[in-house]
Structure 1
Amino acid sequence: MTYTDSAEPVHVDAPLAEFSECHHEFVARLHSALYLPELVAAAAKARAMAEDVIDLFTGGVLQHHQDEERELFPAVVAAARPGDEEQEVRAMVRRLVDEHRDTERRWKELEPAVRLIATGGTPAIDHVLLEDLVQHFFAHAHYEEEHFLPAAQRILGRQSQDMAALGKALHTRHAAAS
């Protein structure tokens, strides 16, 4: 012990212990820095994924919905046989259009956070809403693939000119957009 004016004795090695504690803290913190390269890679991957999702919606999903609603759905309804077939097709189209609006609403809620991620931001993203969007879209695509598109094939396939007219309309729309 050394002499001090304080009432409590001070150990001579106390300052050295503080240096040692600092070293332990520095080593631990520097060790965690070893994760920086993989975290930088993960951040870059998140930005790229966010950019891809933005492109998917702005250049893919929304355009696809427009193509279906302006070209495919009206063509199938027009070619359907009056009565039960037409009623069934109209009901499927109403369901699909409603699902399009639901998908677009969910996307609009997520879009600001996804855009921030694409520019390097780290916003909180609503995981439940994201999962809901993905599950909703999977269910929508499954219904369309299993029910509507086979019906459309059957209906439009009866008259080759109906299928040709749809193809031409889609080509014209896409050529005008380019």
Structure 2
Amino acid sequence: MSRPIPLRSLLSAPAASFEQPFEMLEACHERVHRMLDLLGRLRTHLAGHGADAQAAQAARDVMRYFDQAAPLHHQDEELHVFPPLLAQGDEGVAAVVKRLQADHVAMERNWAAARAVLVRVAEAQLQRLAPDDEAALDTFAALYGDHIQAEEGIAYPAAQALLDPDTVARAGEEMMRRRGVR
């Protein structure tokens, strides 16, 4: 009998509000970490149990997050965080932002390969991960560590220092509208 992958602790989200957009962005990062943790647990589960019902559900959960929430998060950053940082003239910060933008492109490209693996797991077409499958998942997951650290350590604080409260409030409202919240 297979042991279920514990999903509850991985799917619960930190509380944040669109009234505090930077807190919301950081809460999204926490969910990214949780989903990458779930992906790691899924990989371990597959090695011992194959693509059973728990594995299929975990694969669907990871796909749902990176198909829906992650692109919106990246859009939030591309629209509300990065432009003022590129416009403000600090070459060091601008270089970080350009790297973060390139990361977003790489994340999207590498998500396609990782997602293809997860689709096969969700559809019980893949019982064990082949080396190419492992590599696709590794490549995708590896993009996030330095990326999140640079956003939270450099980009977000720099943007918060530049943006007035009304601009931040408008950003939060736009983030809500994109998600159909209100």
TM norm structure 1: 0.64
2:2 maps to what in 1? 38
Offset of residue 104 of structure 1:
1.3
Per-residue displacement from partner, 1:92-134 (whole Å, max 9, x unpaired)?
2211110011111111112122112112221645212312221
Paired with 2:178 and 2:86, the residues of 1 have a C-alpha distance of 19
Does residue 120 of structure 2 align to residue 116 of structure 1?
yes
Residue 164 (structure 1) aligns with: 169
Q: What is the letter of the counterpart of residue 38 of structure 1?
A: S
Aligned pairs, number: 134
2:54 aligned partner, one-letter code: K
Partner of residue 101 from structure 1, selected from 101, 105, 110: 105
Give the one of 91, 94, 105 matched to 1:90: 94
CA RMSD of aligned residues (A): 2.5
Q: Secondary structure at the match of 2:124?
A: coil
Q: In terms of Rg, which structure is larger?
A: 1
Give me the identity figure in percent: 29
Q: Where does 1:1-178 land on structure 2 (aligned, <5 Å)? A: 37-38=1-2, 42=49, 43-78=52-87, 80=88, 83=89, 85=90, 87-122=91-126, 124-125=129-130, 126-156=133-163, 159-175=164-180
Mapped partners of 1:169, 1:75: distance in 2? 16
Q: Which moved more, 1:48-57 or 1:37-46?
A: 37-46
Deviation at 1:89, TM superposition (A): 3.6
Q: Distance in 1 between matches of 2:138 and 2:176?
A: 34
Secondary structure of residue in 2 paired with 1:90: helix
Q: Using the TM superposition, give the Cα deviation of residue 44 of structure 1 relative to its aligned residue in structure 2, in angstroms.
A: 1.7
Q: Please give the secondary structure, in 1, of the residue aligned with 2:125.
A: coil
User: Deviation per CA, 1:132-161, whole angstroms, max 9, x where unpaired?
Assistant: 2212212211221111111112122xx222
Q: Is the 8 A contact 1:110 1:129 kept in 2?
A: yes
Give the deviation of 1:76 after TM superposition.
4.3
CA contact (8 A) 1:71 1:169 kept: no
Structure number with higher relative contact order (C-alpha < 8 Å, ≥ 6 residues apart): 2
2:27 alignment counterpart: none
Q: Which runs of 5+ in 1 are unaligned?
A: 1-36
With 136-145 and 69-78 compared, the bigger mean Cα shift is at 69-78
